[in-house]
Structure 1
């Protein structure tokens, strides 16, 4: 065999080996990508058991009434917040930032109403501030909203100061409960509205669905529709729907799919999901995943076979959840509040919707408020914006006889 022949066969063997390696690497990458997409998809639709503590407690100054915490994007925000500590066993209300460095922030302690902050090691920030309606100075009642699958969802009913047929239905976001909407009760009550703060399937308060999975608004809207019927039967003649985060996606589904559209006077959205594809892609970037992982995760959630991975009984129709694409189907006046640096749900969908439907959408951006913390960051602006918008809102039409 000549030297050239030997070298030629050696090159063929090298190319062959290289090809095998490339194929093996491609298969490994595909397998890893598939696993990551499956994990992401399952995480998105599975209600979390608990929210983890993510902020270290460094020191508590009882005499000075302050607590020093690890500096995080949330812990340094101006305003008043809840601080749940010791895996939710404790709760404090924290106020103004006293001092801040690159690594720590010291805040004023407004109250500690559960647990011992002095022994706490970690906690988490929340925009809730109020944990239940008893934290507000208004009468309230616990009610049950009948659902389509034969069980009822608990809700809080907070009547207006004077008898009124104007109601607001508060729809909370993913991985939280109806307490999220309590911040909005005072401003709506001052405008003469009765507030109904609802729970919905798989949120930990309402009965679970058959599969125990979120549908990102694609099925949860039925529970809001049931709340509309409940409100109408109890005197509501004009209803505003307010949705927070994923609650915004649920509200948009309700507004376009309900048979009681004539009862709706308007929509308020706080840090809303307008297009889930946008949100899933953004979260993928935040997790430093390749862009195809987010697309693959949506494919898993949107296909019937994906239920074998995620536990969903019905696939999610992401086209139906895209209200940038469906903007022309919206017909109710809308107030859209979103922070430019939300951190969880990108503001892009809100801006696009506001541009496409400037005829019905009033868009009010905030600066550094982050996700669902606009009220905490600038309470005065948030309240005045809603008050002004409500004052200009036309009344809804009377309900049909069967709901009277």
Structure 2
């Protein structure tokens, strides 16, 4: 089964009532409920999560929804509202990491991970709808997983706490999907709160909600989807993670979280040039997250622009996960009035964010679109996002 088409090309997501009606038409019964989980934007803190460091994402007002009904057998039937793909069916007793294709690997991975934990999962019918843009670095896959695990946690009576659901979805990503991701995306989706960013310590999963009300500060958060596809399951992400693990080992640290900015001079003498630059990004990015939290708490969103800029330069030059389209989006945004901009997400494509005065929003949009056209790049999709609530049942 192929991946679901990009929902950003569809005009307006269906309402809960429409999704319920579609479920009944396709599966011949009403769903037991509808659950949703948001995508996320990472404000700052990239590739620090699997290094047991700090991240500062926020849940966004674009979500994946799943309508689910429990079956009386061991069959799982999955369908997406997008495209004419029909119903994909498999059996609970034959889930294998290599067997799932396209978007179906995300709900199936969650089922697999819960089964690993000894939780009995019934057969089920599931209809997916999502308006989280695919491939933009906004964590469309984790939104699906978090919606599914929220549904299954309730339907099975498993009683998992948010921290446990985070780890289960990480296991699904790592062991079933084959993507060596950390816990940031799931934590934002499951634990987000309207008007706040989620300050997450990836070592102990502790969370602090930090006020991030850009609108009240006269700002908007623009997302510039470059339409350059990326995949966390490819070699680029894995090689960066391997470099970080090597750097920590050679420095005698449990994780790069334990290396301070002041220790980088010592690190430079112990590491090869590439590994050092990878380490320097993670160490300085952790520090930038802490500074951002402090500034948001004391001075508000208008004070963090320089930190966003510095984060992008570090990802471009030290971690080398940017691309020409992302660099152009960031440079033109800044030149056209944004107070700070950076690529966001795992890299190698996806989206940039630009924290922009509301009065300059259209100016930035127009300038970026013109610059992409003049460079011969595919037209970007530009939209605003706001901090939203985390995963929940909606019907």
Whether the TM-score (by the shorter chain) exceeds 0.5 is no
TM-score, normalised via structure 2 length: 0.28
Q: Which has the larger radius of gyration?
A: 1
Q: Tell me: higher relative CO, structure 1 or 2? Use CA pairs within 8 A at least 6 residues apart.
A: 2
